[in-house]
């Protein structure tokens, strides 16, 4: 398939609904597994872990769109970036809900105490808070209301979100002396952000709105 043909396929109207369907698959798999007692001895922990890791995977894929679009000359990929970003947020919310419901039973006092007691919970909550304005402005009306420049400035926060998300994951795994998987995520993120820094002419230039 030539690049022009690939771009034509990316612009097909049914491609975005197809992507939404693909994005829903991991959540549906977890739901089926939960309903059929297929999540192992500790289903609550499994749900919290899997939804959190999927949030990171979708976020990394969101960050992959720009370098892949430029290196592969596939401008049509750009129309899927917000879909992936919103998906990352949805899985982050599922991650939080799994923790708040299955682990803490919606007891607010216990959740608040946990935030101040365990640093990885604090970082995780901060990550979700920073993601919230990005998700709430991930539609065309928000771009028009904010203006293109302000919208771009706001969505530069995705870099902070990715670093906070990685830190949350590291602190959780480090408590169990298990950071091998974290290192894989860290290397991928370093490549994604490093490409941007080199391409734009430095970290500060990467953060600047053009």
Q: What global pTM score does this model have?
A: 0.95
CA distance 29 to 32: 5
Beta carbons of 188 and 61 less than 8 angstroms apart: no
Nearest to 121 by CA among 156, 172, 82, 158: 172
Q: What is the average pLDDT across 37-50?
A: 92
Nearest to 159 by CA among 125, 122, 196: 196
pLDDT band at 3 (very low <50, low <70, confident <90, very high): low
Beta carbons of 60 and 25 less than 8 angstroms apart: no
pLDDT at 1: 55
pLDDT at 6: 80
pLDDT tens for each residue of 156-177: 999 999 999 999 999 999 988 8
Beta carbons of 172 and 51 less than 8 angstroms apart: no
């Amino acid at each position: 398939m030539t690049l022009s043909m690939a771009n034509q396929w990316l612009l097909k109207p049914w491609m975005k609904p197809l992507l939404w369907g693909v994005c829903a698959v991991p959540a549906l798999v977890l739901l089926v597994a939960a309903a059929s007692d297929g999540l192992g001895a500790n289903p609550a922990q499994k749900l919290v872990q899997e939804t959190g890791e999927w949030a990171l995977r979708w976020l990394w894929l969101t960050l992959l769109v720009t370098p892949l679009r430029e290196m592969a000359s596939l401008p049509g990929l750009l129309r899927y970036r917000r879909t992936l970003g919103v998906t990352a947020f949805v899985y982050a919310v599922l991650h939080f809900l799994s923790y708040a419901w299955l682990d803490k039973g919606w007891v607010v006092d216990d959740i608040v105490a946990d935030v101040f007691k365990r640093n990885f919970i604090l970082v995780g909550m901060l990550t979700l808070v920073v993601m919230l304005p990005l998700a709430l402005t991930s539609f065309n009306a928000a771009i028009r209301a904010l203006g293109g420049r302000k919208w771009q400035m706001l969505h530069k926060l995705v870099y902070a979100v990715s670093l906070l998300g990685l830190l949350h994951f590291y602190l959780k795994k480090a408590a169990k002396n298990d950071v091998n998987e974290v290192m894989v995520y860290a290397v991928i993120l370093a490549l994604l952000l490093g490409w941007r820094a080199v391409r734009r002419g430095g970290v500060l230039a990467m953060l600047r709105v053009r």
